[in-house]
Amino acid sequence: GQQVMQIPQYQHVQEGEDFTTYCNSSTTLSNIQWYKQRPGGHPVFLIQLVKSGEVKKQKRLTFQFGEAKKNSSLHITATQTTDVGTYFCALYNTDKLIFGTGTRLQVFP
């Protein structure tokens, strides 16, 4: 079946440092979604990317969809302790959402 890999698996950063997680698919994607899950919490939708090469920003978060629509990235500028959590990319395969493996972000004050 379709697999979605994310790297890195874990990332520890000092508060104020930048952070990037990458999402790679074995097949071309029609769209990609990003979710954030806080420790002990549930996934919360962040954004959806549809167009090749698309870049979207949400305050300190920048989301990018690759030109070939096989990869995506999430970049956080100047991390804060509130950014702690696991970030999942996810894609729809027919009628179901397939989650990436996730990147767990830890921010040290």
Partner 1 sequence: DAMVIQNPRYQVTQFGKPVTLSCSQTLNHNVMYWYQQKSSQAPKLLFHYYDKDFNNEADTPDNFQSRRPNTSFCFLDIRSPGLGDAAMYLCATSRYQGDTQYFGPGTRLTVL
Q: Which residues pair with 86 in a beta bridge?
A: 37, 104
Question: What is the pattern of x (binds partner 1, CB under 8 A) and - over residues 62-101?
Answer: --------------------------x---x--xxx-xxx
Provide, rounded to whole angstroms, the least separation between the CB of residue 89 and partner 1.
10
**Shortest distance, position 42 Cβ to partner 1, whole Å:** 4
Cβ-based neighbours of 65, under 8 Å, separated by 6 or more: 32, 49, 50, 51, 52, 53, 54, 55, 72
Helix (H) or strand (E) holding 22: strand 19-25
DSSP state of 70: S
From CA 79, how far away is CA 19, in angstroms rounded?
Answer: 7
In the list 7, 44, 68, 78, the residue contacting partner 1 (rule: CB under 8 A) is 44
Tell me: does residue 39 bind partner 1 (CB under 8 A): no
Q: How far is the CB of 103 from partner 1 (least distance, A)?
A: 11
List residues binding partner 1 (CB under 8 A).
33, 41-45, 48, 88, 92, 95-97, 99-102, 104
